[in-house]
A and B are shown apart, each in its own frame.
Chain A
Amino acid sequence: MAEVKLFGCWYSRFSWRVEMALKLKGVEYEFIDEDLSNKSPLLLKYNPIHKKVPVLLHNGKPIAESSVIIEYIDETWEGPSILPQDPYERAMARFWVKFIDEKCGVAMWKAFSSPGEEGEKAIEEAAQLLKYLEEEIKGKKFFGGENIGLVDISANFIGYWFGIIQKIVGLELLTKEKYPNLCEWIDGYINHSFIKDNLPPKDKMTEAFKAYARPGY
């Protein structure tokens, strides 16, 4: 039995982050690709509360919630640090991940998937929220500084996913004109030696996400 298993989905932005964390640390793991429309009994057993991917299974013990899993990985295995060392920098990294997941990412997802007024409002909200990230990345190569860190890995939705899905619905929210610094970060991100070989293929992603796009696009 493999010591480390990851229940995920190849196109899930949350399980991808955990894979990147494991790969950064050089941890060997077995990836169990879940069909999100038909979740396996094992997944439901290991994450009975949220019933979601990703779930990490280490020595038979399950851990759920991507940011919790990533901190666990950082604390358990040797290798490059994912979170900064300094407590203040760590707090800032956690803050930005929470902002991306609970505010910015939510609005961006709704902008892509919600019909009518809800979608329109979400577009406006996302446009405002992205400005904070635009400001935060100014003058920096990556959110983590000289190299990628927790925030960069967790900003994968902005770094790669959204560019693909906004095209599906003909949305021009995240553009070079509106967010030059953020788009420069995106270029560096998708061409980063570690990231680029691990990104799910664009055409497959486009197909997979059509199912979630707002109706009538």
Chain B
Amino acid sequence: MFGMRVRVALAEKGIEYERREDNLANKSQFLLEMNPIHKKVPVLIHNKKPICESLIIVQYIEEVWKDKSPLLPSDPYQRAQARFWGDFIDKKVYESGTKIWTTKGEELEKAKKDFIESLKLLEGELGDEPYFGGEEFGYLDVALITFYSWFHAYETIGDFSIEQHCPKLMEWVKRCMERESVSKSLGDPHKICDFVLMLRKKYGIDQ
């Protein structure tokens, strides 16, 4: 979901780029050179200089291409709120979501509870606005929408429905998916679910 964020941001700004897929099970030498510390995707290379960490990259894109489709509000307090919630998504939503697909039994149930709670908090933050950015699609929308591609996997493994708990959030998801920048950047939820189920089997998580 992290690489997708960068693709959404670049698409929102109408920036052309070359995309390189990496095999995460067998990372390329190039990727390891560009991100020696974390050895992860995504890495944006702009004018030969690498930038790592998805939300840092999104902020970089925002600052370099500041005249096109701004993603962050101009008011410092609202920017702070967007950054706060972006950090919350990276920690709480990602952590609990990951625990859903990597655990079972009691741990899985707890992870589900935490995950739903986190989404509910975000739903509260959205309120009655069309986007987290208010009238306009913005930074926080970019930060969260890419997790949608993993919802089907979480729901299948955890045996629950996100829509049931967070109907307003799912309306927001549908709204975002109408944007080409989003629909063309997100991974196929079924492919992701199959992949994750395969990993669960491989690591004997279900046994």
Which size bracket describes the interface of A in this complex?
20 to 34
Complex Cα spacing A76 to B53, Å: 25
Contact A91 B87, CB 8 Å, known A63-B77, A69-B80, A71-B80: no
Assess whether A132 is in contact with B77, with CB atoms less than 8 Å apart: no
Those of B71-87 within 8 Å (CB) of chain A: 76-77, 79-81, 83-84, 87
Check if A75 is an interface residue, CB within 8 A of chain B: yes
Assess whether A91 is in contact with B56, with CB atoms less than 8 Å apart: yes
Those of A57-78 within 8 Å (CB) of chain B: 58, 61, 63-65, 67-69, 71-72, 75-76
Check if B128 is an interface residue, CB within 8 A of chain A: no
* Residues of chain B contacted by A75 (CB below 8 angstroms): 76, 79
Contact A87 B63, CB 8 Å, known A68-B80, A71-B80, A76-B76: yes
Complex Cα spacing A61 to B80, Å: 11
Using an 8 Å CB-CB cutoff, how does the interface string of B43-78 with A read, 1 for contact, 0 for none? 000100101110011011001100000000000110
* Residues of chain A contacted by B121 (CB below 8 angstroms): 49
Assess whether B77 is in contact with A65, with CB atoms less than 8 Å apart: no
Check if B88 is an interface residue, CB within 8 A of chain A: yes
Assess whether B87 is in contact with A65, with CB atoms less than 8 Å apart: yes
Contact partner of B53 among A58, A67, A95, CB < 8 A?
A95
Task: Spell out A's residues near B (CB within 8 Å).
Answer: 49, 58, 61, 63-65, 67-69, 71-72, 75-76, 87-88, 90-92, 94-95, 98-99, 103, 132
Check if B37 is an interface residue, CB within 8 A of chain A: yes
Assess whether B80 is in contact with A87, with CB atoms less than 8 Å apart: no
Interchain residue pairs A-B with the least CB separation, the first 4: A87-B63, A75-B76, A72-B80, A91-B60
| 29 A-B pairs whose Cβ atoms sit less than 8 Å apart in the complex | A49-B88, A49-B121, A63-B81, A63-B84, A64-B84, A65-B87, A67-B87, A68-B80, A68-B83, A68-B84, A68-B87, A72-B77, A72-B79, A72-B80, A87-B60, A87-B63, A87-B64, A88-B51, A90-B59, A90-B63, A91-B56, A94-B53, A94-B56, A94-B59, A95-B52, A98-B53, A99-B37, A103-B37, A132-B37
With CB as the reference atom, state the residue of chain B lying closest to A76: B76
Complex Cα spacing A109 to B125, Å: 33
Assess whether B60 is in contact with A88, with CB atoms less than 8 Å apart: yes
Assess whether A91 is in contact with B51, with CB atoms less than 8 Å apart: yes
With CB as the reference atom, state the residue of chain A lying closest to B37: A132
* Residues of chain A contacted by B83 (CB below 8 angstroms): 65, 67-68, 71
